[in-house]
Structure 1
Amino acid sequence: MTVELHDAETGLTAFVEFEGVAGVSVLRSRVRLRNDGREPLVVQSVSSLLLGVLPPPHLLDVHWARNDWLAECRWDCAPVRDVVADIGAAVHQHDSRAAFRLTGRGSWPTDGHLAMGALTEVGDGRAWLWQIESPAGWRWDLGERDGRTCLALNGPTDAEHQWRVRLGVGESFTTVPVALAAGAGFDDAMGALTSYRRAVRRPHADHVALPVVFNDYMNTLMGDPTTAKLLPLIDAAAEVGAEYFCIDSGWYDDDADGWWDSVGAWEPSARRFPDGGIQRVLERIRERGMVPGLWLEPEVVGVRSPVARSLPDDAFFQRDGIRLTEQGRHQLDLRHPAARAHLDRTVDRIVGEWGVGYLKLDYNIVVDPGTVGPEDLAPGAGLLGHGHAYLSWLSGVLDRYPGLVVENCASGGMRMDGATLAVSQLQSTSDQQDPLRYPPIAASAPTAAPPEQGAVWAYPQPSYSDELISFTLGGALLGRVHLSGHLDQMSSRQIALVRGALDTYKAIRGDLARGLPFWPVGLPGWGDEWVVLGMRVPGGATYLSVWRRGGEDELRVPVEHLAGPGVGVEVLHPGAAGSGGAVWDGGGVVVSVPLVPGVVLVRLS
C-alpha cells in the first residue's frame, strides 16, 4: 500500500510505501520523496516510519541493545516514563520535548548499539519491535505527544550524520526501509521479525544446509597462516567433521613491514606458501572433502599498496578533494567503476580461478561521517551511497557465483545491520576470545540475525579440560558453528569430544533453519551466572541451551508453550555421564549443571 502526501508550498511529494509478508505480523515501511515543485530542494531529514498511536508512556517499557566490540547484543530495558519524563503537559498546555533516542554513526552502523529497539506493555502485554535497515547511519526517537507514546525511525539525518541530499525538479530520494514487528510479547515479536528476515533476504542453499565452518584464526593461527601450520589443521578439521575450511587473515602477507597498511592487491604470499603456493593448501582442503575459504577485507587499500597508486582519487573516500586516510588505509568508494572493477577482478581470481567457495569479508576501520564525492552534497549522503553500492556489488558477486558463501564481519558484529544481513549468508557475532564471556553474546545473537546466519565461535584447545571443551562447543550449537582451535594437537579423546558435538549439531541443524528464538528466563545480562536460549520449531521440537557460569547447580526454566504433562526431555550435549541433567516438571525444565563452567543442550518434544 502506498499513501501519497503533498506539500503545496514546497512542491514536495511523499510516497509512504507499506509492505507486508504473508502470515507474518511485520510491517515494512519506506518513504520516497519527489520534488514536484519549481525549485531545487535540500532534504535534511526524512523518517521511514512515524507512529503516534502507541499506548501512554506509563504503560510501556523500552528495550534497546548495546553493541560493542567483544561485547555484542547486550539488551537493556527501562520504563518509558524513566527516559521520557512527565513534564505535566496539561499544566503547560504544551507537549513534551523530551525524547529517548539512539543513533548509529559511521561505516560501522552497529558500533555502539544495534539498529533495533522494542516497546512492551507492562504486565506481559503486547510488544512492538523494530529494525532500521541501513548500511550507514540511522536514528530512532521515542517521545510523547497528546499523552501517547510516539516513535520515529530514520536513516541518516543532517543533525546526526551530516546527511543532506539536493533534489532537482523531478528528482527522487528513497529512505532506507524499516521493519516493525508486533506480537503478544517480546519473544513473539522477535519470532515474527525472524520470519520476516528470512522472507526478505536473498535466497541461498547455505540457509538450509548450515555446514560447519572451520576458521584458522580465533585463538589459533591469529593471522599467521603458513603451509606448514595449515596442513595438519586441515587434516584435523576434516577428521572431526568440518565441511568448510576458511584461511583467515595473513595469507597475502609477504611484507617485512607488516600487512596492515599494504593490503589491497590480495595476492598470496610466496614466503608463507612455498612448494606449490596457496593452491597446494586449497587443494588439500578439497582433497579432505571440505570447501576452501579465504578472508578478505575488500573495501580497504593500504597507503603502501600499489593499488593506492593505480586507482584514481575519485575511487576512494575523500573530503575537500583530498583522499581520506584512516589508520594507514584508504577506503574504496564502490560507486566508482574503477573501485568496483578492482574488486570484481579480485573475486573473479579468487573464486573463479582458484575455486574458493567461501569468503569472509571483514572490515576493520571506521569512517565517520563519510565521503564527499563529485555528486555528494554532504559526507553522510556519500556514506549511504557507498553502503548501497557495496551491497549492489556483493549481490553482483553472488549472481555470478550463486554457490559462494559470504560471511559478513566488521571486527565481529560492528556491521550487523538488516540491509547487509539480507545479502550475506553469515554474520560474525563477535571477536570475543574468552569462552566464559561468549555465552551472553551467543544467547542474544538471534535478536540480530536468524540462528542459521549467526556465526558463533567454538574454539576448543588441547590445554582445555574436557568440561571446558564441551562448554565452548556447546555454546554454538543453537547457531552456526564456527570451529577453531589447535585440533591438530589434541588427543584422541579430545578429538572424539569435538566430533561428538558436531555430530549432535548436524542432527539438529535442519530444525535450526526453521527455529524461532525465545528467552524463557529473559535476555541475558553480561554478568549473569545462568544464561538460557530457547529455540522453538513450529510444529516440532523445542531446544534449550543452558549455560552455567556460577551460582547454584540447578535452575528451573519455564517453557510456557509446552505446559502440561507428557513432554519428553533429552540431553543432547554434553554426552558424558554426570555432566548435566534435565527433568520436566509440568511447566518447565529443571536443569542441573554440576560443574562451572558448564552447558547443556536439551531437546523437548
Structure 2
Amino acid sequence: MPDDSPIQHLGEQNAFLLSGAGFAYVLAVEPGGGVRHVHWGGPVAPSDVATLLAEDAGDFGSNTWSSPRAHAEEFVQHGGRRFDESALGVEFADGVRALDLAYADHTIGPGRDTLAVRLEDRHYPFATELHYRVRGGALERWCEVINDGDEPLVLDRAYSAGWALPWQPSWAATWLAGMYAAETQVVRRPLGPGRLVLESRRGIPGHAAQPWLALDRAAGDDAGEVWSVALAWSGSWRLAAELAYDGRLHVTAGVNDFDLRHPLAPGASWTTPVSVGVFAGAGHDDLTDRWHAYERRHVVPRSGTVRPVLYNSWEATFFDVRPDSQLELARRAAGLGAELFVVDDGWFAGRNDESAGIGDWTPDPEAFPDGLTPLADEVHGLGMRFGLWVEPEAVSPDSALFRAHPDWIYQWPTRPRTLARQTHLLALSRPDVRTHLVEALDALLSSAPIDALKWDLNRPLTEASDGLDESGSVWIGHVEGFYDVLDRVRALHPDVWIESCASGGGRADLGVLSRTEWVWPSDNTDALERLSIQHGYAYVHSPHTMMAWVTDSPTYLTKRDIPLRFRFHSAMTGLLGIGGDLVSWSSSDLAEAAQYVAQYKRVRATVQYGVMRRLSGAPDDVTAVSYLSPSGHQLMVFAFAPSVRHLRRTVLLRLRGLDPAAVYVDTASGTRYSGALLMHHGLRVPLVGDYASELVVLDME
C-alpha cells in the first residue's frame, strides 16, 4: 500500500518528503553530510524525488557565487564561502565565528507529522536541530541550538528557517506595511535583484510592517502560485527576501539579530520561534483561505466559539472612570444588544491622566471604594460579561510599584531612561518581575467577577539591559517573559478572554494570537480609514480575530463626520464592537444601532468563520467584500463608497467561489440569482451619495 503519511523518509535517496493539503516540501541529506533543499511548492510523488535530486543546484561553477547557494541549502550557516543571507551565526569561546554543521540523525514523530533533523559541528560540541511540523495546508519550521560543550558561546544570529523558492522568471512581493493609526496597508511591488528586508527593532512587532511576506510571479485573485512566510514572534523580527540575478530566491525569517548577542551557557539550548510557510496554488484568494484555516484550526484559542458583541468605554469617558457613568453606559450598551462590557484605561489607583498609576493594578479607592465587584455584578445583571483594560508590561514613574522597585525596568546605569507614553518597560526577562505580574494579575482577576482583559502595551523596548548577569538577550527574554506571564495567567483563569493591543495594531502576530482571542488592529476607529486597515489585516488573519468599533462621529483622531449606517457596516465586517458615548446618542440613533446589532448577530458566524473574498472589478472608489458561510448556504456582500460621482447609482460586483448551479435569494427583496449569474454577470448593488454603504444577505434556496 502507498504511504500517505505527512512525512516520509525515502531511504534510497536519504530524502524527506513532507506533504500537506495542496503542497509538498522536500529536503535530502547529501553524501558529504550537508542537507540540501530540494522542493517547496505543489504536491509531488515519492517517485519524483529522484528526478528532483538529479537537477543542477545552480552553482554554474562560478567562484563568485556563495557555495553552496542559499536556495540549495536547507539551513544556511555562517562559514566557508557563504555570502548569501545566513540563518545561524555563532561565536565560540575561542573566538571562532564559523560553523561546519553536518547531518547526524533524524527523528520522525509518532503521528508522522513532525520531523527533527540533527546537525552537529564537525569540530565543536555544538548542534542544531531543524524541526518541521505539517499543519494542514501550512508547514511550521523552527530550530533548536544546543551547546553540548563545557564553555559558553554566543548566538549572533539564530533565525527560525530559510525558505527557498523555485525558480521563476520574475517575482512580485506583497506585504503589510503602515504606521500608527494606518496599520496593515497592502503593499505590492516587483522584486528586483538584491535584498528586501522587512523588520522591527522595537521589541514588539510594531506598526510599520507585519512579520509576513508573500511572493509570486503574476498571481491573481483566483489563479497563480503564491508562496508566503510568517513568523510567530511578538518581539523584534526580521524577514529578508534575497533575489539573485539568475532568478534564485531565498527568504530567511526569525528573531532580529539587531543588538542580539544571546549567550548560551554550557549544556544550555535555545529554541527559536516558529516560522510558518504557506503555499497556495490558486491565487491570492487561496492564500487567504489557507492562512485563515491555519489560524482557526491550529493557532487561536477558543477558535470555534463565536465572538461576542463588545462595548468599550474608552472613547466615551477616557480617564474619567466613575461607577455611575460606567453603569449608565452599560445600561445603554445592553439595550443595544452588547454582550461584553469593557472598562478601559482610568479605573485604577492614581490614574487621572496618563502621567501616573500604570503598574498598580488595584481599583481607584475613591471611585471604587468597594472594589470592582459592585460594577461587575451590575453588568452581569444586565446580561453582559465584564472586562478591564490593563498594561502589565509598563510602569509609571509615579506609581507604588516603581517606587518600591526602581531596578525592575530596562535601564543602563549611566544613561538617561527613556519614557514613552510616560512609562518605562518592566524587565520581563527577570523571573522576579514575571512572578510579581502573575501574582498581581491573579489578585486582580480573583478580586471581582472579571471575564475579559484588554492587554495593551504603549511603548517599545529601549535600554536593553535588565540589571542581571549576562544570562540572555533581553530582546528575547522580554518576549519569552511576556509569553510566560500570559500563559500562567491563562492557566490560573482559563475562562478569561484576552484581547491583544499595542497602541492599536503594534502586536498582531501569530505568537500573540496563539494566546489571545482577538486583536485590536488600530486605534483609528474612523470607519472609512478602517476599511483599508481591515482589508490588509484580513488578507492574512481570520476575521474572527479582528475587533472593529463603531464610535462617535467625528472621531477624536480624524475629525471626519460619517453616518451611523456606514460606521456599523464597516465594523460588521469583523468583530462588531461599540465605543461611542451612548449617553449622547439620540433615541433614533440608539434604535437604529440596536437593529444593526441584531442583524450582525444573525450573520456573525458567516463573517467570523466564512470564506472571505475581496471583490475586484468595482470602481476604484468602491470597497467591497463578501463572506460565504462554511456550509455555503449564506452569502453576505458589503459595499462602500466614500462618494458616488458621475451620475453612477449602482455597481456590479462579480462574486467568486459560489456554486454556479445554486440559487441565492436576497433576504430583503426576495430577488433570486443563480450562482453563475452572480459570478459571471455580477450583483447589482445600489450606492448613492456620500458615505454610501450596503449590506446584501443572500440565502441559498
TM-score between the two structures when normalised by the length of structure 1: 0.86
Q: Does 1:304 align with 2:398?
A: yes
Instruction: Name the amino acid aligned to 1:12.
Output: F
Residues 1:482 and 2:596 aligned together? no
Displacement, 1:324?
Answer: 4.5
Aligned to 1:26: 138
Corresponding residue SS for 1:397: helix
Q: 1: distance between equivalents of 2:254 and 2:463? A: 14
Q: 1:547 — aligned with what?
A: 640
Structure 2 residue 325 is matched with structure 1 residue 229:
yes
Structure with more contact order per residue of length (Cα contacts < 8 Å, sep ≥ 6): 1
Q: Secondary structure at the match of 1:141?
A: strand
Change (3 A) 1:217 1:388: same
Contact 1:376 1:382 in 2 (8 A): no
Greater Cα offset, 112-121 or 264-273: 264-273
The 1-side partners of 2:406 and 2:554 are apart by 49
1:135 to 2:234 alignment: yes
Query: After superposition, what is the alpha-carbon deviation per residue over 1:213-238, rounded to whole angstroms, capped at 9, x for unaligned?
Result: 100113x2223222232222111101
Q: CA deviation at 1:138?
A: 0.9
One-letter amino acid of the counterpart of residue 452, structure 2: Y
Q: Which residue matches 1:473? A: 568
- Distance change >3 Å, CA 164–CA 544, structure 1 → 2: farther
Task: Give the match's secondary structure for 1:303.
Answer: coil
Q: Are 2:131 and 2:143, in contact at CA under 8 Å, matched by a contact in 1?
A: yes
Shift of 1:397: 1.1
Change (3 A) 1:123 1:268: closer
In structure 2, give the amino acid aligned to 1:409.
C
Matches within 5 A, 1:248-327: 248-252=344-348, 254=350, 258-273=353-368, 278-311=372-405, 313=407, 315-320=408-413, 324-327=417-420
Tell me whether 1:12 sits opposite 2:126 in the alignment: yes
Correspondence for 2:541 among 444, 449, 452:
449
Mapped to 2, the partners of 1:449 and 1:195 lie a distance apart of 9
Matched residue, 1:180: 277
CA distance in structure 1 between the aligned counterparts of 2:450 and 2:219, rounded to whole angstroms: 52
Counterpart pick for 1:75 among 148, 168, 186? 186
CA-CA distance at 1:111 after TM superposition: 2.4
The question of 1:42 aligning with 2:154 is answered yes
Give the Å deviation of 1:113: 0.5
Residue 473 to residue 420, structure 1, CA distance change in 2 (3 Å): same
2:656 to 537, 541, 560: 560
TM alignment of 1:46-445, pairs within 5 A = 46-56=158-168, 58-81=169-192, 84=193, 98-124=194-220, 125-145=224-244, 147-158=246-257, 161-183=258-280, 184-201=282-299, 203-204=301-302, 207-218=304-315, 220-252=316-348, 254=350, 258-273=353-368, 278-311=372-405, 313=407, 315-320=408-413, 324-327=417-420, 328-368=422-462, 370-376=464-470, 381-445=473-537
Displacement after TM superposition at 1:105 (Å):
1.6
When structure 1 is superposed on structure 2, of 455-464 and 291-300 the one drifting more is 455-464
User: Is the contact between residue 67 and residue 110 of structure 1 (CA under 8 Å) also seen in structure 2?
Assistant: no
Whole-angstrom distance in 1 between the partners of 2:233 and 2:544: 21
Q: Please give the TM-score of this superposition, normalised by the length of structure 2.
A: 0.75
Distance apart, 1:460 and its partner CA:
4.8
- Residues in 1 aligned to 2:256 and 2:680: alpha-carbon distance in whole angstroms: 52
Take 2:535 and 2:243, find their aligned partners in 1: how far apart are those partners?
33
Going from structure 1 to structure 2, the CA distance change for 1:41 and 1:336 (only over 3 Å counts) comes to: closer
- Amino acid of the residue matched to residue 469 of structure 1? L
Contact 1:443 1:532 in 2 (8 A): no
SS in 2 for 1:293: strand
CA spacing shift, 1:339–1:236, aligned 2, 3 Å: same
Offset at residue 42 of structure 1 (A): 1.9
1:545 shift after superposition:
2.1
Identical residues among aligned pairs (%): 24
Counterpart CA distance in 2 for 1:521 and 1:209 is 28
* Aligned mates of 1:399, 1:255 — CA distance in 2: 29
1:321 and 1:343 mapped to 2: Cα distance?
27
Please name the residue that 2:26 is paired with.
none
Shift of 1:61: 1.1
Q: Secondary structure at the match of 1:562?
A: coil
Whether 1:589 aligns to 2:683 is yes
Q: Which moved more, 1:546-555 or 1:122-131?
A: 546-555
- Does the aligned pair in 1 maintain the 2:239–2:252 contact within 8 Å? yes
The C-alpha deviation readout for 1:301-358, integer Å capped at 9, x for no partner, is 1112111122362x33233587954234222223434322332333223221211111
After superposition, the C-alpha distances for 1:94-138 in whole angstroms (9 at most, x for unaligned) are xxxx21111112133132111111012215310112211111111
Question: Which letter does structure 1 place at the counterpart of 2:595?
Answer: G
Report the Cα offset of residue 34 of structure 1. 1.6
Equivalent pair of 2:396/2:423 in contact (CA under 8 Å): yes
Q: For 1:462 and 1:116, how far apart are their aligned partners in 2?
A: 33
Q: Which runs of 5+ in 2 are unaligned?
A: 1-114, 670-676
CA RMSD of superposed structures (Å)? 2.9
Q: Name the SS for the 2:524 alignment partner.
A: coil
CA distance in 2, matches of 1:59, 1:465: 42
State the 1:569 CA deviation: 4.8
2:627 is aligned with 1:535: yes
Contact 1:297 1:362 in 2 (8 A): yes
CA distance in 2, matches of 1:493, 1:186: 42
CA contact (8 A) 2:394 2:423 kept: yes
- 1:372/1:252 Cα in 2 relative to 1: closer, same or farther (>3 Å)? closer
* Partner Cα distance (2:459, 2:166) in 1: 39
Provide the rounded CA distance (Å) in 2 between the counterparts of 1:532 and 1:404. Answer: 35
Tell me which amino acid in the other structure corresponds to 1:417: D
Structure of larger gyration radius:
2
Q: Shift of residue 424 of structure 1?
A: 0.8
Task: State the Cα distance separating 1:433 from its structure 2 match.
Answer: 3.6
Question: CA offset at residue 601 of structure 1?
Answer: 2.4
Distance 1:399 1:434, change over 3 A: same
1:260: Cα distance to partner?
2.6
Q: Secondary structure at the match of 1:208?
A: coil
Identify if the C-alpha distance between structure 1 residues 39 and 50 changes in structure 2 by more than 3 Å, giving closer, same or farther.
same
Alignment gaps of 5+ in structure 1: 85-97, 576-582
* Alignment-mate amino acid for residue 468 of structure 1: P
Deviations 1:144-193 (A, max 9, x none): 247233233332343xx211222334322211111111112122112111
Distance 1:109 1:255, change over 3 A: closer
Equivalent AA in structure 1 for residue 201 of structure 2: R
C-alpha deviation, 1:279, in angstroms? 3.6
Moved more, 244-253 or 441-450: 441-450
Alpha-carbon distance in structure 2 between the residues aligned to 1:458 and 1:602: 20
Q: Is the 8 A contact 1:63 1:117 kept in 2?
A: yes
Note if contact 1:67-1:414 (Cα within 8 Å) is conserved in structure 2: no
State the 1:77 CA deviation: 0.5
Say if 1:395 and 1:109 are closer, same or farther in 2 by CA, change over 3 A. same
**1:491-529 residue CA offsets vs partner (Å, 9 max, x unmatched):** 33222211111111111222334323332229x99xx62
